[in-house]
Amino acid sequence: MLRQVLLAAARSDGVRRAVETAPYTRGVVRRFVAGETLNDALDVTRTLTGDRLLVTLDHLGEGTRDPGQAETVVKGYTDLLERLAAAGQSARAEVSVKLTALGQALDEDLATANARRICAAARAAGTTVTLDMEDHTTVASTLRVLAALRRDHPETGAVVQAYLRRAEEYCGELAGAGSRVRLCKGAYAAPESVAFTDRAEIDKSFVRCTRVLMAGRGYPMLATHDPRLIEIGGALALLNDRGPDDFEYQMLYGVRPVEQRRLAAGGARVRVYVPYGREWYGYLMRRLAERPANLAFFLRALAGR
């Protein structure tokens, strides 16, 4: 119930304005977001890679309906990729891209062309792109764009959300040689007809998907903070003769940082998803919807305590 309210708030302009202008939200935002500028993102990247972690950077923004705004997002990514290469960070840091920020809702071809430019810039910088998966209404389009991009850029990463009833089928389709696939539970509101809503059902689907990806020939990227799913993922990797370099764990910036470092110190590949930029509102609301403890922290900050 609370989760539904927060996910609805994520789409509300009125709530967004109230939260963005509240005087005490800054501290909470900085827990989950690297900062508003490219320099903030690079500083955080340097710290994380210094701790033997890998990074995927998200230039925040979503739901763009203006081609000019989509162009600004492309420029944001190409600048970021140039700076990553210049800073010698591109071997350890890639980028995550939301197609709705590139104009997907306006025109799929425009979003594909924009994403292709980011993929080319990533290749020039010596790194890769992963296409985030958004609201369930965008899944079919995102998979079409992914297929188009992979013709020239087979290294482009895909995302499967385990809460989708078709998740296992998507994993089967995406588990081919060279295919990088991030598996996550799914962060958006989705109806029963397309998604599991019961937490235990979602977890079971995550395990089934992990099994398919680990048995496949691609590169699984397990994006979860869930200790049980992390342990099961490690066990399934071993069962499928995968070494520590044949898959990775992924977690969000600000969530379980001690565990991120513990896994990396044990030899695992661990990538941290680092969002930055001014458009942090929708991202922050999804993080609050995931965990009551995050919400309590946020409400205390809003009240100035």
Catalytic residue among 116, 182, 269, 271: 182
Tokens of 210: 């992990």
CA atoms 224, 230, 232, 235: torsion sign: positive
- Verify binding: residue 291, ligand FAD, rule CB under 6 A: yes
Number of residues that bind ligand FAD (CB under 6 A): 22
Which residue of 61, 186, 218, 233 would you call a contact of ligand FAD, by CB under 6 A?
Answer: 186
The DSSP bridge pattern shows strands 219-223 and 180-184 to be: parallel
**3 noted as active-site residue:** no
Residue indicated by tokens 């895909």 = 158
CB 21 to ligand FAD: min, Å: 26
Q: Is 206 exposed, middle or buried (0-12, 13-18, 19+ CB in 10 A)?
A: buried
Rounded Cα distance, 262 and 268, in Å: 9
- Using only C-alpha atoms, what is the Rg of the chain? 18
- Residues annotated within a binding site for substrate: 98, 286-287
User: Residue 70 or 285: which CB sits closer to ligand FAD?
Assistant: 285
Binding piece for ligand FAD, criterion CB under 6 A, among 3-11, 60-68, 178-186, 240-248: 178-186
Tokens of 85: 């290469």
- Residues annotated within a binding site: 98, 133, 161, 185-187, 224-225, 286-287
User: Residue 124 or 299: which CB sits closer to ligand FAD?
Assistant: 299
**182 noted as active-site residue:** yes
Which residue of 22, 256, 297, 302 would you call a contact of ligand FAD, by CB under 6 A?
Answer: 256
Tokens of 186: 């799914």
Binding piece for ligand FAD, criterion CB under 6 A, among 19-27, 105-113, 190-198, 249-257: 249-257
- Verify binding: residue 260, ligand FAD, rule CB under 6 A: no
- Verify binding: residue 252, ligand FAD, rule CB under 6 A: yes
Q: Give Cα separations from 288 to 94, 118, 305 (angstroms).
A: 25, 30, 18
Binding piece for ligand FAD, criterion CB under 6 A, among 39-47, 225-233, 260-268, 295-303: 225-233
Which amino acid is located at 21 in the chain? T
- Verify binding: residue 132, ligand FAD, rule CB under 6 A: yes
| Residues 6 or more apart whose Cβ sits within 8 Å of residue 192 | none
- Verify binding: residue 189, ligand FAD, rule CB under 6 A: no
Catalytic residue among 58, 92, 116, 132: 132
* Count of beta carbons in the 10 Å neighbourhood of residue 27: 11
Strands (DSSP E) along 117-269, which ranges? Answer: 129-131, 158-161, 180-184, 219-223, 248-252
Binding piece for ligand FAD, criterion CB under 6 A, among 7-15, 115-123, 184-192, 236-244: 184-192
Q: Give Cα separations from 304 to 27, 124, 301 (angstroms).
A: 10, 46, 5
CB 18 to ligand FAD: min, Å: 24
Q: Give Cα separations from 72 to 37, 79, 141, 160, 263 (angstroms).
A: 14, 10, 22, 27, 36
CB 229 to ligand FAD: min, Å: 6
- Verify binding: residue 250, ligand FAD, rule CB under 6 A: yes
User: Residue 152 or 231: which CB sits closer to ligand FAD?
Assistant: 231
> Under the rule (CB under 6 A), what is the footprint of ligand FAD?
132-133, 159, 161, 184-188, 223-227, 250-252, 255-256, 273, 290-291
| Active-site amino acid positions | 132, 182
